[in-house]
Amino acid sequence: MKQVEITLNVNGRDRKVAVLPRMTLVDCLRDILRLTGTHVGCEHGICGACSVFLDGEPIRSCLMFAVQAEGHRVTTVEGLLKDDGSLSDLQDSFWECHALQCGYCTPGMLVASQALLDEIPDPTEDDIREAISGNLCRCTGYQQIVEAVQMTAKRRREGAAHG
Amino acid sequence: MVDAPVNLPNYRYVSRKRRTKEDRRFVSGRGKYVADVDVPGMKHLAVLASPHPRANIIRIDTSAAEALPGVHYVLTGDELAGATNSLFHGLDLPNIKWYPLAVGMTRYAGEWVAAVVADSRYIAEDAAELIDVEYESLPAAVDSEKMIDEDQPLVHPDHGSNVLFRKTWQWGPVDEDFAAMSNTITYRARWGRSSTVPIETFGVVAKWDDINEILDVWASIQMPQYQDQIAAALHLPMNNVRVHNDVDVGGSYGVKRGIKHTVLVSYLTMKLGFPVRFIEDRLDNMSGGDAHGPDRIFDMTMAFDDDGVIKSMKVRALDDVGAYPGRAPLQLGKPITALCGPYRVNSIEYEAISVTSNKTGQVPVRGFGQSPTNFAIETGIDRVAKFLGIDRIEIRARNLVRKDEFPWKIPPGSRYDSGDFHLVLKKALQASNWDDLIARRNALRAAGRLAGVGVATCLEPGGGNNIFEYLFNPKLQITTFVESILIKVEPTGAITAVMCTTTSGQGHETLVSTIAGEELERDPDTIRVLHGDSLEALPTRSPVASRMAIILGTATSNAARDIKAKMITIAAFDLGVEKDQIEYADGEFSVRGEPSRKLDWTEICHIAHKQFHRMPPGHELGLQSYAVQQVPGGGDLPDENNEVSLYPCFSFQAHVPLVEIDPSTGKVKVHDYFIAHDCGTAINPDIVRGMIIGGVAHGIGAALYEKFEYDADGQLLAGTFVDYLLPSAHEIPPVTDIEHCTPSPMTSLGQKGSGEGGYLGAPAAIASAVNDALAPLDIEINELPIRARDIEAAIYEKTKAN
C-alpha cells in the first residue's frame, strides 16, 4: 500500500505527514505525531476516549481516516492547554473536582465538555449529562465530571462579572 | 458530604479537601499509559482467535502470513508450549495446562491460536487473516449447572471432569440452629457473567536485553506476583525480569492480569531480539483477554425466628470460571471473609463449587467475589422481610451487628473490626428523606407506573491476608500479603517516597504523600512519590483487595514515624538533651520549655547527610526508612475447625435507590441514589467519594445492563460495546454520598478500604428496588442483570397467565 502525504493543522500548527490511506486519525495523532493524550478505547465509536475537535466540532478520531482530515483543523487535549502551557479553566476544574481516577477517558471527556461550553455557556445538569453521554467512564460514575463542568461555567460567569 | 465524628484528631492534610497528585498530568494529556510507551525498534503483535468454542486443531498453515512483507514471525501454540511453563492456577490442578496460545485444542471462541509479529499492527492483523487453520469443531460444554451431574464434553480431558473444586464447610452448629428455628426460606440468586471492562484494554511491551540478561516489561497491570509468574513461565531468575511500575493503568478494578499476554510477547522478544508490543483491540479484550468476571448461581437457605432474627444460613455457590481457571476459583474463597454480611448469624454452611466450561476464562473482579455474595445475602434479607411481613429496614436493624459488639467474630472466623451499622443505615435513610421517598414511589405507582425503593446494607472487607487460598489449596500456605514503602529525605530536606507497584486510578501518590505529609508535618504537595520498578522495589502484592490505604498507608505512617524518631535522636544529640526532651512541630525540633533552643528540618537533614561530627555515635547516616508491612491482625493458618481470621478491616455501606420501570418496555430508570458509607478515616475525601459513586455506577451496570452473554453453542454474543452495555451519564443518576467515620483500630490513622466501593452493594440495592417495583405484579427477578427485556418478558408472562 502506498503512503499519502497530507497536511493537517493540529493544535494550531500545520503538520505534514505521510500516512497509509487506511490509517485512522487517532493512530496518526498518536503514533506519527506522538500526541498520546488522545486515547484509544473501543475503536468502534462507542466509548469516546478518542474524541478530538475537527474544525471545532467534537468527533471520534477512531472512526475517521487521517487522510479525511487533510486541510482540517484538529485540536487534541494537548491543544486545550493555554499558550503558556498552564491548564485551561476546564482542565483545572477537572483537577479541582477530581473528575477522573485513572484518567484514560479524561481527554475525551474534556473535549465533550469543552464542546458543550462552547455552545451553551451556562448548561443545566441535564445538558451536561447529555453532552458527555457519548463518552464512557468506568471510574467516576460521572458525577464529579458533571460538577467540574458546572464549576467551569460558574467560574466563567464570575470571571465575566468581574472582568 | 463528609460527616466527621467529633473525636477525630485534627488532621492537617488527612481527610481534608485537597487536590490529588495524579490528576494534573491526566487532565494535561500527559499520563503515560502502556500504549504511550515507545521503545526504539519495537514491533507489533496481533493474534488470531479461534471462532470455535471447542475444536481440535488439525493443522495450521502460516506460510501465507509469513510471506507478507513486513511480517517478522508467526508463532503457534506448540512452539510456545514447548518453550515455556504452564501458567499458574490458584487451585492444585496438575492436569490442566494453560499457555498463551492454544495447544492441540481450542477451548473457547476467542482463544488465541497464533500470533503474528510485524512492522505495524495493521500488517500484523492482515497477516493473521492469512493464517489457515483447519479445525475439527466439537460440541461445547456451556451450561454450568450441567457440569456437575450430567455428561458433558470435557473442557480439559486430562482433568477428567468439568468440576474443578467442590467442598462444603460448616462453621458453628448449623443443624441445631436450623432445627431450632421456626422458619426457613430457600431461594436462588443468579449473578450474570459481567465484569469491570476498563476503557483501556490490556497492553504490554517487552524488551529482552541479551547482554545484560534483563527482560524489561511495561504493562497495563494490576496483579499480585506478576514478575514471579513471568519468571516462572519463561524459566528466568526473578532478577532477570524488570516490571516498570510507573506505567499509568487506564482502569482495571481487578481484571488487568495480563500474564498470558506478557509471556507471549516476552517469549517473542527473547526469540526475535527486538522489543515486541501487544495492545489488545476491544474484541481481543472482550473475547480472549482478561475480561470476564464471576458467573454464579447461589442456592440459599436462611433459618430465622418469628421476629425475623436470622440464626443460620446455608450458601451453595456454583461458579463458572470458563476455560482456564487461573486465579478465578479463589473468588469463591474471599467471600468467606464476610459470608454472613453485616449480620449476627450464628452458624453457616458453605458449599463452593467451581466448574470449567467452554467460555472465556474468568479473572478477578472488584471485590473478588464479594459483590455477588452480597447480592445473594441481601436478596434473602428482603425475602425474610416479605415472608414475615416485616419492614425491610426493621429486619436489618434486628440482625445488624451492634456498635458495642465489635470486634465481632463471625462463624468462619473473621473479626469485624469496628463500625456503627445502625447509625450509617439511619444516615442513608435520613439522606433519602425516607418517608418522602416512599411517598414519591407511591405517587409514581398511583400514576400508573411501576416504582420501587431498594435497600442494601453490605460490607467491604479490606486488606486481605489471602489465607482463604489455603482453604481451596493447602499447598498455598500464604499468610501475608505485604506492601512496602521506602521514604528518604534529601540533604536539602526534600522528601521522596518510593512505592512498589502500579496504580490504576486509586490515587496512591496522593495516599502516600498525604500520610507522609501528615506524619512529618510537611506539605504533601512537596513530597515526590515514585513507582519503583520491580527490581528496585521492596516486596509488594499489588493494589488488590481494597488494601492500599490499609497496608501501604500503615507502612507509610510507620516509615515516616521512624524518620521522625531518627530526626529527634539527631536533634537531641546536637542540642545536648535527652530524646524525650525534644518536641517536634511545624518543621522545628525544639527543647521542651526552651523554644529558642531548636533545629529546623533542613538543618537536621544537612547534619544527617553531611556532618558526621554532629551525629550521635553509631547512628545511621542519611535520613531514610522503609517499611514492609504485614497485614494488620497477623496471619495464622485456619485452625482444626477451618476457622480463620481473614481481612482486617470492614467498611460498611447502606444503599437506598429509587427506580421507575416503564411497564410497556421494562426499561428501568434510576431516579435517585443515596448511600451512606463508613471506611474509617478517609485519607482523601474526593478520592473516596469518587470510588463510592463510581462503584455505584459499576454496580448499576452489573444489575441492569452488563453481561457476557453466550448462546447455547458457546458463542460469545457480546464482543463489542454495542452488545455489552456500559452505563453512560444518562443511566447513572446523581448519587448522594454521606460519609461516616468509625476509625479502624487496625490501621495507623483509622483508615479502611474503599476501592471496591459502591460496587459491593449497588447490585443488591438495585435488585431490591426493581423487585419492590415489581411486587404489585407479584413478580420477583433474582437473576442479574435484570435487563429491560427480562422485565418486559416477566410482565408479559404474568399478564398472559392472568
In tens, the pLDDT along B456-480 reads 999 999 999 889 999 999 999 999 9
Q: CA–CA separation, B632 vs B462, rounded Å?
A: 11
Which residues of chain B have a CB within 8 Å of the CB of A116?
Answer: none
Q: In terms of C-beta density within 10 A (0-12 exposed, 13-18 middle, 19 or more buried), how is residue B800 classed?
A: exposed
For residue B548, the SS3 value is helix
pLDDT recorded at residue B7: 56
B686 near A CB under 8 A: yes
Which residues of chain B have a CB within 8 Å of the CB of A49?
Answer: 199-200
Q: CA–CA separation, B655 vs B737, rounded Å?
A: 9
pLDDT recorded at residue B800: 87
Q: CA–CA separation, B684 vs A55, rounded Å?
A: 39
CATH of the domain at A117: 1.10.150.120
3-state helix, strand, coil in chain A (%, to 5): 40, 15, 45
Q: Any residues with CB less than 8 A from the CB of B248 and at least 6 apart, and which?
A: A102, A103, B26, B31, B32, B33, B503
- Count of CA atoms in the C-beta half-sphere (13 A) of B400: 26
Q: CA–CA separation, B380 vs B768, rounded Å?
A: 10
Q: CA–CA separation, B471 vs B473, rounded Å?
A: 6
Q: CA–CA separation, B694 vs B255, rounded Å?
A: 16
Residues A74 and A96 in one domain: no
B728 near A CB under 8 A: yes
Residues A76 and A94 in one domain: no
Angle, helices A143-162 vs A89-96, to 10°: value is 130
- Kindly state the cell numbers that stand for B523: 506539605
pLDDT band at B4 (very low <50, low <70, confident <90, very high): very low
Do the beta carbons of residue B541 and residue B482 sit within 8 Å? yes
Question: Looking at chain B from residue 158 to 217, which residues have their Cβ under 8 Å from any Cβ of chain A?
Answer: 196-201
Tell which of A54, A80, A106 closes a domain.
A80
Q: Min CA distance, A92 vs chain B (Å)?
A: 8
User: Which residue range(s) make up the domain with A73?
Assistant: 4-80
pLDDT in tens, B99-150: 999 999 999 999 999 999 999 999 999 999 999 999 999 999 999 999 998 8
User: Which CATH architecture describes the domain B13-31+482-629?
Assistant: 2-Layer Sandwich (3.30)
Q: Min CA distance, B503 vs chain A (Å)?
A: 8
CA nearest to B307, candidates B378, B384, B377? B384
CA nearest to B106, candidates B62, B69, B56? B56
Q: Do A103 and B248 touch (CB under 8 A)?
A: yes
A148 near B CB under 8 A: no
pLDDT in tens, B45-71: 999 999 999 999 999 999 999 999 999
Cell 460496587, located at residue: B759
pLDDT in tens, B497-541: 999 999 999 999 999 999 999 999 999 999 999 999 999 999 999
Q: CA–CA separation, B228 vs B221, rounded Å?
A: 14
Alpha helices in chain A (DSSP H): 25-27, 89-96, 106-119, 125-132, 143-162
Q: Which residues pair with B243 in a beta bridge?
A: B217
**Protein fold of B389-461+647-801:** Aldehyde Oxidoreductase; domain 4 (3.30.365)
Q: Is the pLDDT of residue B1 over 60?
A: no
Cell 490513622, located at residue: B749
Q: Do B726 and A91 touch (CB under 8 A)?
A: no
Q: Do A23 and B198 touch (CB under 8 A)?
A: no
pLDDT band at B178 (very low <50, low <70, confident <90, very high): very high
Nearest residue in chain B measured CA to CA from A33: B36
pLDDT in tens, A145-158: 999 999 999 999 99
A123 near B CB under 8 A: no
Q: How many CB pairs under 8 A join A and B?
A: 182
β-pairing verdict for B276-279 and B43-49: parallel
Q: Do A141 and B698 touch (CB under 8 A)?
A: yes
Question: Looking at chain B from residue 266 to 295, which residues have their Cβ under 8 Å from any Cβ of chain A?
Answer: 279, 281-282
Q: Do A104 and B251 touch (CB under 8 A)?
A: yes
Segment holding B170, helix H or strand E: strand B163-171
CA nearest to A36, candidates B203, B346, B553? B203
pLDDT in tens, A62-121: 999 999 999 999 999 999 999 999 999 999 999 999 999 999 999 999 999 999 999 999
Q: Do A95 and B24 touch (CB under 8 A)?
A: yes
CB atoms within 10 A of CB B595: 11
CB atoms within 10 A of CB B129: 13
Residue type, A51: S
Residues A59 and A106 in one domain: no
- Average pLDDT of every residue of chain B: 97
Q: Do B729 and A106 touch (CB under 8 A)?
A: no
ipTM over 0.90 threshold: yes
pLDDT recorded at residue B6: 46
Q: CA–CA separation, B550 vs B69, rounded Å?
A: 53
CATH of the domain at A69: 3.10.20.30
Q: CA–CA separation, B33 vs B441, rounded Å?
A: 45
Q: Do A133 and B19 touch (CB under 8 A)?
A: no
Q: CA–CA separation, B260 vs B262, rounded Å?
A: 5
pLDDT in tens, B558-608: 999 999 999 999 999 999 999 999 999 999 999 999 999 999 999 999 999
Q: Do A37 and B33 touch (CB under 8 A)?
A: no
Q: CA–CA separation, B233 vs A161, rounded Å?
A: 64
Q: Do B33 and A36 touch (CB under 8 A)?
A: yes
Q: Which residues pair with B350 in a beta bridge?
A: B169, B315
Q: Is the pLDDT of residue A58 over 80?
A: yes
Residues A147 and A93 in one domain: yes
Q: Any residues with CB less than 8 A from the CB of B192 and at least 6 apart, and which?
A: B295, B702, B706, B707, B708, B783, B784, B785
Q: Is the pLDDT of residue B334 over 80?
A: yes
pLDDT in tens, B194-236: 999 999 999 999 999 999 999 999 999 999 999 999 999 999 9
Question: Looking at chain A from residue 60 to 119, which residues have their Cβ under 8 Å from any Cβ of chain B?
Answer: 76-78, 80-81, 87, 91-92, 94-98, 100-107, 110
Q: Do A23 and B20 touch (CB under 8 A)?
A: no
Q: What stretch(es) of chain B map to CATH 3.30.365.10?
A: 13-31+482-629, 389-461+647-801
What is this structure's pTM? 0.97
Cell 485452625, located at residue: B639
Q: CA–CA separation, B463 vs B334, rounded Å?
A: 11
pLDDT in tens, B357-381: 999 999 999 999 999 999 999 999 9
For residue B241, the SS3 value is strand
Residues A74 and A104 in one domain: no
Q: Do A138 and B698 touch (CB under 8 A)?
A: yes
B255 near A CB under 8 A: no
Which residues of chain A have a CB within 8 Å of the CB of B20?
Answer: 95, 98
Of B35, B251, B690, nearest to A144 by CB-CB distance is B690
Residues A142 and A105 in one domain: yes
A4 near B CB under 8 A: no
CA nearest to B692, candidates A150, A151, A143, A107? A143
Question: Looking at chain B from residue 35 to 64, which residues have their Cβ under 8 Å from any Cβ of chain A?
Answer: 35-36, 38
Residues A98 and A76 in one domain: no
B505 near A CB under 8 A: yes
Which residues of chain A have a CB within 8 Å of the CB of B122?
Answer: 20, 22-23
Tell which of A39, A61, A80 closes a domain.
A80
Q: Min CA distance, B744 vs chain A (Å)?
A: 25
Residues A76 and A100 in one domain: no
Nearest residue in chain B measured CA to CA from A76: B29
Query: How many separate domains does chain A show?
Result: 2
B796 near A CB under 8 A: no
Q: CA–CA separation, B385 vs B362, rounded Å?
A: 34
Residues A108 and A151 in one domain: yes
Tell which of A19, A51, A80 closes a domain.
A80
- Cα B232–B236–B237 angle (5° rounding)? 95
User: Percent of chain A beyond pLDDT 70?
Assistant: 99
Q: In terms of C-beta density within 10 A (0-12 exposed, 13-18 middle, 19 or more buried), how is residue B771 classed?
A: buried
Which residues of chain B have a CB within 8 Å of the CB of A47?
Answer: 199, 721, 726
Query: Dmax of chain B from CA atoms?
Result: 94
Do the beta carbons of residue B133 and residue B52 sit within 8 Å? no
pLDDT band at B2 (very low <50, low <70, confident <90, very high): very low
Q: Do B250 and A102 touch (CB under 8 A)?
A: yes
